């Protein structure tokens, strides 16, 4: 049997072509696009401006939505965390982070992850599969509908970060497709300039992204200033060691737009990568490649099966001071939604043990 086509992953012109293949005029395609992407309707039944027969036909051959929300938690700081399931029962994790001037949605690009970062709980799932463009778009739709109501325009701008489960650059094609759909002014209208993709360092894809005109911003997860330690923490480093990674970053840097900066993420692990000497090594590494990046120092979120603890506030501050003394712009990322394990790599893998321990408002599964 032919698989129903997921319409959320189609651009307006692709949707127009699609409705034409089922014998409908082009304007119906534009109507369906608006219903899905601007009104954020999750079923054809809800598109009351379409004839009944067309809604029934669309239901036969296509899907308006395919994710279901398994559980939803709201943190005391307003962060919302969702564990969703795909049609084939695989976990997808998404986090909505409200801030004063904007909201940020952290979405997943894969279910599970093939990379084996030792500080990350998602790594323990392995790769279940890459998500489709429609499944990427739907995560954003679900979070916005939940926060503001179906189709209600968010009061602030929405930023997106591909920092949930998965290595986004290993699903680059579907990711870029999703971003192009979401950029449409008659849809969600979230432009690539509001999107940051975080990679563990897939060098060939960084170079490919550098050549993409409508690309998002890039963040690189470093976690270590030397190959020896990075091989241990992020085994992808054995394939693309620091020198190769940094030279790809340099190439990428040449394509930055005015005001845009490359970001390095550095998860702070107590007694592992947080010494003064390691801060100097990191600064020297970036300076040697003359990369004008900023470094985000990220407090590690401890999780039982992982052998790491977060660095103390003093250690993080000292690390930051050393970087700054060597001319590197460093920021300490404020942990959000810690009480609901909302950090990258904390969601799906932990769901089995979560329910007994959660300290916050369990709003309950919906959808
Ligand atoms: S940190 Fe990111 S890239 Fe590494 S295993 Fe976890 S999800 Fe994958």
105-137 pLDDT, tens digit per residue, is: 999 999 999 999 999 989 999 999 999 999 999
Mean residue pLDDT of the chain comes to 91
| 256: pLDDT strictly greater than 70 | yes
| 147: pLDDT strictly greater than 80 | yes
Tokens 């030792």 — which residue?
Answer: 118
- Ligand 1 atom at shortest distance from the alpha carbon of 114: 8
- Ligand 1 atom at shortest distance from the alpha carbon of 199: 3
Q: pLDDT-derived band of residue 296, with 50, 70 and 90 as boundaries?
A: very high
Choose, from 6, 24, 93, 135, the residue flagged as catalytic: 93
Collapse the DSSP code of 68 into the 3-class scheme (helix H, G, I; strand E, B; otherwise coil) and give the result: strand
* Candidate of 108, 117, 221, 305 to mutate for ligand 1, largest count of ligand atoms within 8 Å of Cβ: 117
Tokens 């100097």 — which residue?
Answer: 280
Closest CA to 221 of 181, 251, 262, 180: 262
Q: Give the pTM.
A: 0.92
- Residue 71 tokens, joined: 């559980």
Region of 328 (left: φ > 0; alpha: ψ -120 to 50; beta: rest) is beta
> How do beta strands 91-98 and 102-106 pair?
antiparallel
- Residue 192 tokens, joined: 């690539």
- Ligand 1 atom at shortest distance from the alpha carbon of 200: 3
pLDDT at res. 22:
95
Collapse the DSSP code of 326 into the 3-class scheme (helix H, G, I; strand E, B; otherwise coil) and give the result: coil
Closest CA to 246 of 217, 272, 224, 213: 224
**Other Cβ atoms closer than 10 A to 223:** 27
How far, in Å, are 13, 33, 48, 317 from residue 27 at the CA level?
11, 10, 15, 57
Q: pLDDT-derived band of residue 159, with 50, 70 and 90 as boundaries?
A: very high
For 98, list phi and psi in degrees, rounded to 5. -80, 140
Show the CA angle centred on residue 131, arms to residues 263 and 160, nearest 5°: 35
In sequence order, the 6+-apart residues with CB closer than 8 A to the CB of 340 are 73, 74, 75, 79, 81, 358, 360
- Residue 10 tokens, joined: 């189609």
Range 97-104 average pLDDT: 93
* Candidate of 92, 129, 167 to mutate for ligand 1, largest count of ligand atoms within 8 Å of Cβ: 167
Residue 344 a catalytic site member: yes
Closest CA to 214 of 186, 183, 168, 170: 183
Q: What's the CA-to-centroid distance between 347 and ligand 1, angstroms?
A: 12
Q: pLDDT-derived band of residue 349, with 50, 70 and 90 as boundaries?
A: low
CA distance 27 to 113: 40
Higher-pLDDT residue of 365 and 329 is 329
Task: Please give all residues whose beta carbon lies within 6 A of any atom in ligand 1, as ranges.
Answer: 113, 115, 117, 120, 122-123, 165-167, 200, 345
Q: pLDDT-derived band of residue 363, with 50, 70 and 90 as boundaries?
A: very low
Tell me the per-residue pLDDT of 164-179, one tens digit each, with 9 for 90 and over: 999 999 999 999 999 9
119-140 burial by CB neighbour count: b if 16+ within 10 A, else e? bbbbbbbebbebbbbbbbbbbb
In sequence order, the 6+-apart residues with CB closer than 8 A to the CB of 179 are 192, 195, 214, 216
Range 145-151 average pLDDT: 96
pLDDT at res. 367:
26
Tell me the per-residue pLDDT of 199-253, one tens digit each, with 9 for 90 and over: 999 999 999 999 999 999 999 999 999 999 999 999 999 999 999 999 999 999 9
Q: pLDDT-derived band of residue 304, with 50, 70 and 90 as boundaries?
A: confident
Show the CA angle centred on residue 292, arms to residues 290 and 294, nearest 5°: 135
Tell me the per-residue pLDDT of 309-322, one tens digit each, with 9 for 90 and over: 999 999 999 999 99
**Total residue length of the chain:** 367
Q: What's the CA-to-centroid distance between 214 and ligand 1, angstroms?
A: 25
Q: How far is CA 231 from the centre of its chain?
A: 24
**Other Cβ atoms closer than 10 A to 16:** 19
| 1: pLDDT strictly greater than 70 | no
Q: pLDDT-derived band of residue 359, with 50, 70 and 90 as boundaries?
A: very low
């Amino acid at each position: 049997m032919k698989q129903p086509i997921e319409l959320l992953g189609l651009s307006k012109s692709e949707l127009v072509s699609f409705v034409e293949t089922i014998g409908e005029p082009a304007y119906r395609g534009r109507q369906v696009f608006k219903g899905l992407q601007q009104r954020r309707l999750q079923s054809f039944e809800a598109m009351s401006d379409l004839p009944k027969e067309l809604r029934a036909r669309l239901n036969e051959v296509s899907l308006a939505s395919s994710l279901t929300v398994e559980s939803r938690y709201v943190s005391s700081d307003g962060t919302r965390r969702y564990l969703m399931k795909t049609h084939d029962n695989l976990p997808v994790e998404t986090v909505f982070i409200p801030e004063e001037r904007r909201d940020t949605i952290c979405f997943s690009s894969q279910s599970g992850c093939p990379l084996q970062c030792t500080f990350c709980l998602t790594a323990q799932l392995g790769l279940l599969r890459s998500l489709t463009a429609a499944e990427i778009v739907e995560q954003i739709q679900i979070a916005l509908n939940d926060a503001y109501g179906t189709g209600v325009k968010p009061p602030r701008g929405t930023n997106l970060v591909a920092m949930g489960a998965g290595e986004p650059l290993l699903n680059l094609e579907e990711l870029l497709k999703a971003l192009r759909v979401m950029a449409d002014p008659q849809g969600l209208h979230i432009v690539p300039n509001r999107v940051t993709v975080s990679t563990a360092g897939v060098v060939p894809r960084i170079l490919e992204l550098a050549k993409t005109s409508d690309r998002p911003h890039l963040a690189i997860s470093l976690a270590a200033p030397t190959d020896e330690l990075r091989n241990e923490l992020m085994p992808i480093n054995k394939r693309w060691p620091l020198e190769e990674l940094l030279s790809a970053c340099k190439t990428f840097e040449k394509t930055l737009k005015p005001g845009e900066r490359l970001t390095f993420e550095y998860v702070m692990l107590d007694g592992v990568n947080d010494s003064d000497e390691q801060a100097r090594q990191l600064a020297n590494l970036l300076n040697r490649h003359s990369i004008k990046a900023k470094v985000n120092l990220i407090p590690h979120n401890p999780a039982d099966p992982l052998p790491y603890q977060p660095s103390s506030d003093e250690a993080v501050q000292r690390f930051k001071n050393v970087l700054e003394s060597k001319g590197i712009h460093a920021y300490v990322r404020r942990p959000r939604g810690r009480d609901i394990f909302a950090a990258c790599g904390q969601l799906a893998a932990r769901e089995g043990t979560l329910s007994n321990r959660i300290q916050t408002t369990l709003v309950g599964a919906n959808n």
